[in-house]
């Protein structure tokens, strides 16, 4: 008989996971305490932007396998329960806020049936899974809890969920592993690597992976600082070192650094947890990774100041990009938006464009000016900043734009535009980490 699956928490991760599990052929119910989210998903609309997901959600709703509810009792006959709630940074420190994870467990523990398996997917500090498992077994000793970290990237959420590059399961019994093998049978048949670990290791795999990615980005941004000081070009440097397969060329895009709802908060929570464990020295370097990352934003603002005789007051600046990365409307800890807000606070007249993230950006920073088109954004600008590398920006014809601006100066904060093309169209082109700034 096919497994019946529940997904607790229908935010980014949960909505994607529920939809993809249904696509794999399971009967799935997504549960959330937020009635607005449930209403939207039940009606076939995802409350955020993610390529492919909306269409897939509609197909799965039509199939009759997928449904959503605010009622926790609706999951009582499910065999597997995925916990997909958020673990944001606490307001007054670096640690992760585990309120939602524990309240999700408390809500489901009394209603789930004997023999069922709870599977955590949220990113948590190491040791959380064991605590959750102990709590679960106190309420229902005939259940079990496993951990199965999620590695999906925003913008590729459907692809990463249906065809992950690895599956990691933290289990305490072979029975739990068997259940998870059944859930992921299609991936296993496709030879996707299957890593079985204990609970703490499975939790650590996730934060270690994000810490490594953050380190790679900050490493290349540190090299960008050196290139600027020494008259080098970080894009050529990145290309050259990337040919070494031990280094690899991905995640070596220098610029204004990493943001989003994961990398920044995950490295901070990792440091906080290491300190609790008395192992803070091991992660001391992550403090530097965080500083290099935030410094990339200040270096961008320094470049802006240099171009505008140090005084930003009354200067018209166009900002292309508000999302923390392309193909997403997520503005959480977005370097682009942070820079826009800082230059506006310094007195500049800022106009921001983004293909998808304006509603979220406006909700967060209503005092910023937003433009509905690239053309409207750059009209009369004394400086244009390229801060999120959307495809539409890479496809801009610089010749067409030059007639609209007051002075044709562009700073590429993502090292993604074609410098020669912009220069030959008459623009004064600068970028982070490249000589001739």
- For the annotated catalytic residues, the residue numbers are 262
Which two tokens mark 110? Answer: 């009394």
32 versus 154: smaller Cβ distance to ligand UGA: 154
The site that binds ligand UGA (CB under 6 A) totals a number of residues, namely: 22
Radius of gyration for the alpha carbons in the chain, expressed in angstroms and rounded: 23
Cα–Cα distance between 433 and 422 in angstroms, integer? Answer: 17
Please, what is the minimum distance in Å from the beta carbon of residue 87 to ligand UGA? 10
Contact between 152 and ligand UGA by CB under 6 A: the answer reads yes
Site for ligand UGA in 16-35 (CB under 6 A): none
Question: What is the b/e burial string over 52-73, where b = at least 16 CB atoms within 10 angstroms of the residue's CB?
Answer: ebbebbbebbeeebbbbbeebe
Cα–Cα distance between 359 and 341 in angstroms, integer? Answer: 16
Fill in the DSSP letter of residue 379: T
* Contact pick of 133, 268, 325, 419 for ligand UGA (by CB under 6 A): 325
Name the 3-class secondary structure at 355: coil
Contact between 251 and ligand UGA by CB under 6 A: the answer reads yes
Site for ligand UGA in 178-217 (CB under 6 A): 210, 213, 217
Under 8 Å CB-to-CB from 394, ≥6 apart: which residues? 416, 417, 418
Please, what is the minimum distance in Å from the beta carbon of residue 110 to ligand UGA? 29
Cα–Cα distance between 258 and 272 in angstroms, integer? Answer: 20
* Contact pick of 324, 393, 422, 429 for ligand UGA (by CB under 6 A): 324
Give Dmax over CA atoms of the chain in angstroms. 71
* Contact pick of 27, 50, 79, 154 for ligand UGA (by CB under 6 A): 154
154 versus 329: smaller Cβ distance to ligand UGA: 154
Contact assessment for residue 89 and residue 271, using Cβ atoms and an 8 Å cutoff: no
148 versus 210: smaller Cβ distance to ligand UGA: 210
**Contact string (CB under 6 A) for ligand UGA, positions 253-272, x = contact:** x-x-xxxx-xx--x------
Contact between 151 and ligand UGA by CB under 6 A: the answer reads yes
Burial of 244 (0-12, 13-18, 19+ CB in 10 A): exposed
Please, what is the minimum distance in Å from the beta carbon of residue 210 to ligand UGA? 5
9 versus 259: smaller Cβ distance to ligand UGA: 259
Instruction: Point out which residues bind ligand UGA (CB under 6 A).
Output: 123, 150-154, 210, 213, 217, 251-253, 255, 257-260, 262-263, 266, 324-325
């Amino acid at each position: 008989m096919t497994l019946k699956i529940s997904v607790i928490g229908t935010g980014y991760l949960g909505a994607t996971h529920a939809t993809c599990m249904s696509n794999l052929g399971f009967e799935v119910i997504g549960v959330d305490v937020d009635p607005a989210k449930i209403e939207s998903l039940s009606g076939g609309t995802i409350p955020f932007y993610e390529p492919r997901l909306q269409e897939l959600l509609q197909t799965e709703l039509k199939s009759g396998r997928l449904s959503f509810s605010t009622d926790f009792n609706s999951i009582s006959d499910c065999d597997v329960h995925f916990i997909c709630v958020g673990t944001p940074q606490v307001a007054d420190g670096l640690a992760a806020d585990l309120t939602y994870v524990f309240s999700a467990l408390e809500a489901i523990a009394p209603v789930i049936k004997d023999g069922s398996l709870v599977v955590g997917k949220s990113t948590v500090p190491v040791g959380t899974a064991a605590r959750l498992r102990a709590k679960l077994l106190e309420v229902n000793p005939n259940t079990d809890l496993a951990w199965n970290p999620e590695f999906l990237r925003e913008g590729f959420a459907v692809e990463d969920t249906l065809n992950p590059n690895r599956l990691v399961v933290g289990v305490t019994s072979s029975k739990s592993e068997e259940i998870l093998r059944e859930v992921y049978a299609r991936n296993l048949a496709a030879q996707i690597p299957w890593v079985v670990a204990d609970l703490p290791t499975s939790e650590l795999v996730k934060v270690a992976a994000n810490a490594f990615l953050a380190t790679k980005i900050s490493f290349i941004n540190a090299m960008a600082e050196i290139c600027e000081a020494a008259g080098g070009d970080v894009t050529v440097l990145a290309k050259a070192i990337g040919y070494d397969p031990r280094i690899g060329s991905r995640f070596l895009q220098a610029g204004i650094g990493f943001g989003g709802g994961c990398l920044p908060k995950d490295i901070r929570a990792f440091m906080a947890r290491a300190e609790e464990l008395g192992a803070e020295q091991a992660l001391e370097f992550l403090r530097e990774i965080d500083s290099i990352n935030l410094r990339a934003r200040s270096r961008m603002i320094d470049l802006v100041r240099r171009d505008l005789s140090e005084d930003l007051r009354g200067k018209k600046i166009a900002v292309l990009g508000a999302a923390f990365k392309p193909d997403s409307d997520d503005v959480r800890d977005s370097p682009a938006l942070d820079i826009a807000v800082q230059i506006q606070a310094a007195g500049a007249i800022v106009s921001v464009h983004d293909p998808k993230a304006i509603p979220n950006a406006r909700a967060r920073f209503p005092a910023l000016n937003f433009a509905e088109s690239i053309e409207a954004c750059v009209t009369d600008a004394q400086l244009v900043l390229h801060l999120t590398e959307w495809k539409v920006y890479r496809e801009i014809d610089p010749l067409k734009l030059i007639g609209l601006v007051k002075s044709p100066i562009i700073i590429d904060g993502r090292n993604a535009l074609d410098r020669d093309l912009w220069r030959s169209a008459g623009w004064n082109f600068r970028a982070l980490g490249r000589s001739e700034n």
